[in-house]
Amino acid sequence: MGVSEAGSTKTTLAKQIEGAYQRIGVTGAHRQIVLMILLGVFFNALEQNAVGITGPV
């Protein structure tokens, strides 16, 4: 397989993946998952800073 053939195969695969994402769209489940991840990051940041907030014991 030549270089041009390998490039066209990757382009075709990329177009297929993009087409699949376009058909699926963004659903409520996607939004809930992102919200849960962001809340987890937020609470993790609070937990990491809790020692600094309370000071030396």
Q: Which residue has the higher pLDDT, 48 or 17?
A: 17
Q: What is the mean pLDDT of residues 35-44?
A: 91
Cβ contacts of 9 within 8 Å, gap of 6 or more: 1
Q: Is the pTM of this model over 0.75?
A: no
pLDDT-derived band at 35, boundaries 50, 70, 90? very high
Q: What is the mean pLDDT of residues 34-51?
A: 85
Mean pLDDT computed over every residue of the chain: 80
Q: What is the pLDDT of residue 7?
A: 61
